[in-house]
Structure 1
């Protein structure tokens, strides 16, 4: 019973998310979108579809693996890959539902100079979904 008091924050867990969310992912996104926008210029349907497919099916799976394995390392789990094996597919499916529409808007209407900011804003919502998935038993 919490006696009406809010549950305390787990600073250690928040730090784990911060390490990845502030220290790793923004740099990956910066260089990824710089490359993607340089390689596939414009907002033609064909170009947007190429960017969507590359973003979702080339970048996302390794980033999800990095997320789960890195979190397992920081949590000092004995099997660093167990959570990744159990949650990668459900997380990827959810990622497709969330990120494909978000990135379609990104690639169609967001200027390249604002992509990282837009993705960062979407990522704020996504990280809450990711935290929820991480807490689930699969």
Structure 2
């Protein structure tokens, strides 16, 4: 275990982008899998949903690594006068954008895989459903995000070395990613049930 950790630490410095992608994807996959099994208690594991969440977080993680580096260059140090603008700007730009983007990503990818984007009417329906989902959930998600990510980012900027920040944030994101995946797919299931009831009509 110690040798594996040492190899990870070396790789996080020599190949940071690849390691950030892999770390973000694996942790998001773990968060979604835990949500499916322990929270939703699904009888069957949904690998498509899990992969959709993992790819999103894997893609975002290298961008966050670069973003954290930019914030450190603009406001070097961990004193309050450097920490406060880093936290507020990070929350406004990254944390508040990533969660809504994940809802859009999940909706569009799963619609594409289900073949619902092939016709103009299908694309319009997916766009409308996604917009309604954002209106219903984005305020709650962003408020919850502030409560979780402000203290997490404070710890990250003050105590965690730059090459390990994505690893630390990914541990926090394991639970957050499971929550986002639950919200996204709860809404999708409700939409599908509504559509099914509308199509079948009254008995």
TM-score band w.r.t. shorter chain:
0.7 to 0.9
Name the residue aligned to 2:45.
Answer: 9
Name the residue aligned to 2:140.
Answer: 90
Name the residue aligned to 1:118.
Answer: 168
Instruction: Give, in angstroms, the shift of residue 31 of structure 1.
Output: 1.3
The structure showing larger relative contact order (alpha-carbon pairs under 8 Å, at least 6 residues apart) is 2
Q: Is the 8 A contact 1:33 1:116 kept in 2?
A: no
What SS class does the counterpart of residue 43 from structure 2 fall into? coil
Structure 1 CA distance for aligned equivalents of residues 81 and 131 of structure 2: 36
Matched, 1:70 2:105: yes
Q: Stretches of 4+ moved more than 2 A in 1?
A: 79-82, 131-137
Name the residue aligned to 2:5.
Answer: none
Name the residue aligned to 2:180.
Answer: 130
Name the residue aligned to 2:79.
Answer: 44
What SS class does the counterpart of residue 78 from structure 2 fall into? coil
TM-score normalised to the size of structure 2?
A: 0.59
Deviation readout 1:59-112 (Å, 9 max, x if unpaired): 222212321111110121622322122211110011111111111111121122
Deviation readout 1:19-71 (Å, 9 max, x if unpaired): 2022x211221111111111111000111111110111122222123211111
More off after superposition, 6-15 vs 34-43: 6-15
Gaps of 5+ in 2: 1-41, 112-124, 188-203
Residues matched between the structures, number: 131
Q: Is the 8 A contact 1:52 1:103 kept in 2?
A: yes
Gaps of 5+ in 1: 1-5
What SS class does the counterpart of residue 75 from structure 1 fall into? helix
Q: Is the 8 A contact 1:72 1:81 kept in 2?
A: no
**Structure that is richer in helix per residue:** 2
Highest CA radius of gyration, 1 or 2? Answer: 2
Q: Is the 8 A contact 1:91 1:133 kept in 2?
A: no
Change (3 A) 1:94 1:136: farther
Structure 1 CA distance for aligned equivalents of residues 183 and 144 of structure 2: 9
CA-atom RMSD in angstroms: 1.8
